[in-house]
Every structure is written in structure tokens, then in C-alpha cells.
Amino acid sequence: MTEEPRFCRETRAQLPFLVSGELTGWGARVVRGHVKRCADCAAELARQEQVHAALATLRDAPPEPPPGLLDDLLARARGGSIRERAAVPARGAVSGARPAMSVAFLTVGAAASTGVGYGLYKGARWALTRRHR
């Protein structure tokens, strides 16, 4: 696979901004001039315009949710069988650990690592001062 020219890479990076109208002035003229001369970049501009048009239709007319979706979600939220409720642990999102214990372990770990780091620092300074005597 051959590497595309640098100017094509830079132009393609600017195409979404050109299509959305954010790229104006001199920058827009330079990009449009390159697109007129480069077939690959012109094809990419056409793809970007298609994507922009598709997203615009979604913005103007958002899709309707399927009928009964809200009722189904509410029924699931109220709880069903034991199996459905067991999917989310009662204590903690994944591990089941208690949040207070997690904070305590994190605090102890931070204090211990700070103490170890300080001890190493002081030991290294002591060793260096002994070495230079």
C-alpha cells in the first residue's frame, strides 16, 4: 500500500469541517482547490457530504422508539426473577466490595507507598553523603 501525499492527509482531515461550514476563508479555498484537482479527495468529500446529510436527517427527525419500550424497561427495572436481580451485585458495581473499605484500602496504600518512597529518598541521600566524605 502506498502512502498518500501529506497534502491529501491534511486536506482529508479538514473535510468534515468544510462540510459542516466550520472551515471558512482561506483554509476553505485551499481545501476546495485541492479537491478540484485530486480525485481521491473529491471522492472522500462526497462521502463526507453523504454522512453529513444522513446525520442532518436524524437531527431533523429523530427516530421513534419502538412501541412498548418504556413499559418493558420499567418492568425490568422493578425486578423480575432472582436471576435478573443477581446480575447486579448489591454491594459495589463489579467486585461486590464495600465503598468504605475500598477508600480505606486506597488510603492505607497511598500512605504506605509515600512512606516507602520517603524512606528510599532519605536512604539514598544518606548513602550519597557517606560516599562523598
| Grid coordinates belonging to 22 | 466550520
Model pLDDT, residue 124? 83
Within a domain: 102: yes
Q: Which pLDDT does position 126 carry in this prediction?
A: 81
pTM over 0.85: no
Is 84 a member of any domain?
A: no
Q: How far apart are CA 132 and CA 125, in angstroms?
A: 11
Tell whether 52 is covered by a domain.
Answer: yes
Q: How confident is the model at residue 59, as a pLDDT?
A: 79
CB 31 within 8 A of CB 18: yes
Instruction: Identify the domain containing residue 115 by its residue range.
Output: 98-133
Residue 93 falls inside a structural domain: no
Domain count along the chain: 2
pLDDT at 121: 84
Residue 118 within a domain: yes
Query: Which three-class secondary structure string do you get for the chain?
Result: CCCCCHHHHHHHHHHHHHHHCCCCHHHHHHHHHHHHHCHHHHHHHHHHHHHHHHHHHHHHCCCCCCCCHHHHHHHHHHCCCHHHHHCCCCCCCCCCCCHHHHHHHHHHHHHHHHHHHHHHHHHHHHHHHHHCC
pLDDT of residue 15: 92
Instruction: Please report whether residue 78 resides in a domain.
Output: no
pLDDT of residue 14: 92
* pLDDT tens series, the chain, 133 aa: 467 788 888 999 999 999 999 988 999 999 999 999 999 999 999 999 999 998 888 878 877 888 888 888 888 777 666 555 555 545 455 555 566 667 778 888 888 888 888 888 888 888 787 776 6
In a domain, 14, yes or no: yes
pLDDT at 132: 65
How far apart (Å, rounded) are the C-alpha atoms in residues 64 and 123?
A: 68
